[in-house]
């Protein structure tokens, strides 16, 4: 039995895989898919192709991801194709391999910025914000709008969870985003602030943080975003990056992820010391 999946659900998913691939599919343990708190992921091999079956504990998160990916399938933006969708279940085709730790350099940060800029530039007029309520991106966007009076009224599609675990290299070594269960509609500052905390911050190399953020904003090609990320507006008490870290800290504590909590606490301390030294 699949860990964390009810027996009826397992049988249902196996029937769906049989219908999709016949008898040719098999579980691929060598792919080592990453499973998070919101889902369990099983790698499935059918012929020469690799797929990922995602089992969600939260059906709303499943539908958020399905909605975002089906929208992206109608655009030039690269994203995992949805092969099948059921209650608490998605079957997605693999679009790449994880970015190795040794490849997490300036060039990849520039690519993350470029990829986010393309995502945020899509026309989202057909999407309903109601379908994305309650996600991490939605919560942070609402917090930004409550704290920053001059935040633009934008409705970009937001990924909502930009971490190194959620970016992969495709066959041409370009970055593709995966795991859209925390997606929402809102201001691009949400994704950029999360990416700054998750991808640009390393407690061991704190002095490199600002340079890393600059590389990401270089790819995003909107220089003004740098100050929006790190500056504290007159009407607020914290920067966007600091608010993002506070949101991530709240999530990690709620879900018992204490190692992650320490990372966010260290970041908040760093960003506050940085601000006090510049005052």
DSSP letter for each residue of 230-257: H---TT-SS-HHHHHHHHHHHHHHHTT-
CA–CA separation, 211 and 151 (whole Å): 24
Show me where the domains of the chain are located: 7-93, 98-278
* 218 φ, ψ (degrees, to nearest 5): -60, -45
Residue pair 93/126 in contact (Cβ under 8 Å)? The answer is no
Superfamily of domain 7-93: Phosphorylase Kinase; domain 1 (3.30.200.20)
- Mean of pLDDT over the chain: 90
Residue 22 pLDDT class (50, 70, 90 cuts): confident
* Per-residue pLDDT at 35: 54
Cα–Cα–Cα angle for 36, 62, 189, nearest 5°?
75
Tokens of 226: 């740098």
Fold category of 98-278 in CATH: Aminoglycoside 3'-phosphotransferase; Chain: A, domain 2 (3.90.1200)
Nearest to 129 by CA among 90, 185, 79: 185
Residue pair 158/115 in contact (Cβ under 8 Å)? The answer is no
* Per-residue pLDDT at 5: 44
Query: Among 133-137, 184-188, 218-222, 274-278, which is the least confidently predicted range?
Result: 274-278
Read off the pLDDT of residues 215-238 as tens digits, 9 standing for 90 and up: 999 999 999 999 999 999 888 889
């Amino acid at each position: 039995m699949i860990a964390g999946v009810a027996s009826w659900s397992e049988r249902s998913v196996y029937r769906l895989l049989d219908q999709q691939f016949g008898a040719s599919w098999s579980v691929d343990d060598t792919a080592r898919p990453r499973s998070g708190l919101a889902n369990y992921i099983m790698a499935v091999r059918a012929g020469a192709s690799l797929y990922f079956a995602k089992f969600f504990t939260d059906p709303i998160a499943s539908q958020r991801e399905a909605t975002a990916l089906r929208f992206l399938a109608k655009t030039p933006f690269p994203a995992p194709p949805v092969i099948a969708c059921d209650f608490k279940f998605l079957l997605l085709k693999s679009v790449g391999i994880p970015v190795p730790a040794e490849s997490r350099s300036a060039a990849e940060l520039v690519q993350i910025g470029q990829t986010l800029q393309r995502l945020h530039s899509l026309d989202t007029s057909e999407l309903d914000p109601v379908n994305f309520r309650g996600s991490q991106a939605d919560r942070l966007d609402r917090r930004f709008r409550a704290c920053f009076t001059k935040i633009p009224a934008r409705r970009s599609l937001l990924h909502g969870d930009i971490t190194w675990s959620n970016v992969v290299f495709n066959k041409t070594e370009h970055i593709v985003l995966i795991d859209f269960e925390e997606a929402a509609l809102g201001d691009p500052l949400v994704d950029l602030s999360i990416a700054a905390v998750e991808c640009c911050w390393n407690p061991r190399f704190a002095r490199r943080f600002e340079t890393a953020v600059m590389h990401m904003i270089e790819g995003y090609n909107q220089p003004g975003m740098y100050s929006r990320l790190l500056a504290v507006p007159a009407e607020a008490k914290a920067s966007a990056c600091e608010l993002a870290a506070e949101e991530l800290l709240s999530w990690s504590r709620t879900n018992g992820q204490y190692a992650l909590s320490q990372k966010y606490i260290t970041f908040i301390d760093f960003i506050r010391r940085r601000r006090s030294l510049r005052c």
